[in-house]
Copies of this chain bind each other. A is one copy, B any other.
Amino acid sequence: MNNYTRMLREHHLKATPQRLEIANALDCNGHMTIEKLYEVMLQKFNSISLATIYKNINIMIENAFIQEVKIPNEKSVYELSKERHSHVVCTKCNAIKDIMLDLSQTTQLASQVSHFKIDKADLVLSGLCQKCQQL
């Protein structure tokens, strides 16, 4: 039993070939739009349906196997669930990078000011990646 099979089962998901490939694609590419994922999946399953992609993305989100990342001015991308992290995106080439930042201070302060009980912080930083700065 391979890794992805185990990972899927831990999230109460049957390990079908299609799902294994979604897991693999997201693992290799880091962040993918639905569109891009469909494109990649078509190479392995020439008759896969977009409906299958959507159904799987949805159930995988429900079961916390993957996460949706909403990005300003761009389509959402999806990534395998992992340790909490933030995202840096390039507004020119759309590159996306994961970044570990300690937001506990900020979150705590926000909690005091707003009187909310906060349990999640989604931060997306936008700018220019190293390459695009040079152009």
Spell out A's residues near B (CB within 8 Å). Answer: 68, 70-72, 86, 88, 90, 97, 99, 101, 103, 106-107, 109-111, 113-130, 133
Contact = CB atoms under 8 A, between A and B. Distances in A.
8 contacts: A70-B71, A88-B110, A88-B114, A90-B116, A106-B106, A117-B128, A118-B125, A121-B123
Given A121-B124, A122-B125, 19 more contacts: A70-B70, A86-B110, A88-B116, A88-B118, A90-B116, A101-B106, A101-B110, A103-B106, A114-B125, A114-B129, A116-B127, A116-B129, A116-B130, A118-B126, A119-B126, A120-B125, A121-B123, A122-B124, A123-B124
B101 A115 contact: no
Contacts of A70: 70-72
Contacts of A116: 88, 90, 97, 125, 127-130
A8 B117 CA distance: 37
Q: How many copies of this kind of chain does the complex include? A: 2
Contact of A117 (B107, B110, B121, B127): B127
The 4 closest A-B pairs by CB, nearest first: A118-B127, A70-B70, A120-B126, A115-B130
A52 B1 CA distance: 55
A76 to B, nearest CB: 8
